[in-house]
Amino acid sequence: MKKLKFLSLFLALTTTASFSYADELEDITVPHMEPEAVITYEEALNILNRKDDRLVPITPEDIQIAEIIRITSKAVLWADQLQANVPEAERHQVWRRIDRLGHEATPTNPMKYNAHIINTQYEEAMSATPQAMRDIFISNDPLPPALPEGITMADAIIPIRQLNNVYSRASRWINLSPLRFAYNKDRKDYRPFIQLHTQIKEIETLLSSWETTDETTKTRLIESAANACAIIGKSKRSCASNGRRFLNGSSAAVTAWFHGIYDEGLQKYNKQFTVQIPHPGVDVTHNGEETKVTFHMLNIPDTIFEWIKEHVYAAWNFPGAVVLDLQNVTTSRHGVVMVDWQPGALPHVNGIGGDTITMDTNTALWLEQTQIVMAHEFGHVIGYSDCYSEFWDGDEDAFVYYVMDETNRMCALSGETLPLHKDTLLAGFNNSFKEAKK
């Protein structure tokens, strides 16, 4: 993480500070976490001990959140350990895609979290956990090899799933909150633009009858459009000032002003769902109606390689249109993809279109979440970005998180590969495809 260039500016700030210093924070590199990622208790303590890398002081609540991570991570680990010798088909998964369907955080129903919210959710989850299990999780003793008498795995997994949700949010808080003011709401919050986008037909009608529209309605539209200016890097105040010049102007003039904001916002919004940086060094071939994109992976153990192929192919292949082909090679070459397994690591790729996938060795390959995470991370290798938004809201005194499309696997882990991925995959590698078809 970069040296905090403006740390001294924040020495007197409290957690109620606003985003007044957003411009000064641009040089700070902030942590990134994939959806529902978690950190270990040891890493939580390491983060709390890195006092020079904080914009806000550690609070007693932060220390309590670290303890929550210790307890909830034990619950999740125990569920996996207890089922190590159970046939995979009979295991009870802690994280399940089916549980997330219809429950993702959306722009209209975002997830909000801070230390107080997490503590409240933890207390609720623990109160729903049998006392014998609570004692195990809270204790510093090694995890027992069997469930308490009278409790089945089917019974135990229910509160453990609830504790896992708390574990995920507690992990995000510990990892992201030290630099919370650097998570600029204005430049990360797509909701003002999404509101315009969902109402564009009504807005076009209003703009066409601008001269006969009442001033209150005109003012409301100008303010709504100005609020969307931040996402394209423009001042909301300046946009609103410019817009008010058209209150008594012509329909053509205000339409041009509005589309200057909306069209640029739409371009940025749509970019979230495209192949932004096509992975370099792929081989592209074309056979009839089907295009094959070959990625080369370096020295992947055979068992792991077959596992990767299974889940990447299932996620990203469109038979008859475009398919991926993974090849395991023993010598490096341009664009070769590597997989780095590290204990306790946060899954990520070293940039959009990057060449190194980092995965956590502590997560078993049989877990549905691990399989979905690998497919998601390979999406970054292809060249897709994440399509969710997360920022600190000073008014809420909390982080706000939502996905832009809960059906899209690059936005949410419960999402899927969509028809738009086929089209954008072809478009993203368009130049290579043209060469392949010559």
Same domain, 212 and 334: no
Of 271, 302, 319, the one marking the end of a domain is 271
Strand-pair partners of 275 = 384
Helices (runs of H) and strands (runs of E) counted in the chain: 16, 9
161: number of Cβ within 10 Å: 19
pLDDT single digits (tens) 143-160 = 999 999 999 999 999 999
Cβ atoms 353, 378 nearer than 8 A: no
CA distance 315 to 297: 17
* Number of residues assigned to the chain: 438
Same domain, 178 and 190: no
Task: Establish if 276 belongs to a structural domain.
Answer: no
Task: Establish if 1 belongs to a structural domain.
Answer: no
Same domain, 153 and 106: yes
Mean pLDDT of each 10-residue bin along the chain, 438 residues long: 32 32 54 89 94 85 97 97 92 96 96 97 98 98 96 97 98 94 90 97 97 96 96 95 95 97 97 94 88 95 98 96 96 96 94 96 93 97 96 96 97 96 88 52
Question: The domain containing residue 15 runs over which residues?
Answer: 7-182
Same domain, 166 and 33: yes
Comparing CA positions, the residue from 204, 168, 170 lying closest to residue 373 is 168
Same domain, 168 and 25: yes
Same domain, 222 and 347: no
Return the CATH number at 391. Answer: 3.40.390.10
Same domain, 129 and 202: no
- pLDDT score, position 250: 96
Cβ atoms 312, 375 nearer than 8 A: yes
Same domain, 177 and 208: no
Task: Establish if 123 belongs to a structural domain.
Answer: yes
Of 230, 248, 271, the one marking the end of a domain is 271
Number of domains making up the chain = 3
Same domain, 45 and 168: yes
Same domain, 19 and 161: yes
Task: Establish if 277 belongs to a structural domain.
Answer: no
CA distances from 60 to 64, 114, 405, 438 (A): 6, 13, 36, 65
Side-chain half-sphere CA neighbours of 113 within 13 A: 24
Same domain, 297 and 324: yes
Of 271, 299, 330, the one marking the end of a domain is 271
- pLDDT score, position 30: 73
Placement of tokens 């069997």 in the chain: 146
Same domain, 177 and 196: no
pLDDT single digits (tens) 279-311 = 999 999 888 888 899 999 999 999 999 999 999
Burial bucket for residue 157 (CB in 10 Å: 0-12, 13-18, 19+): buried
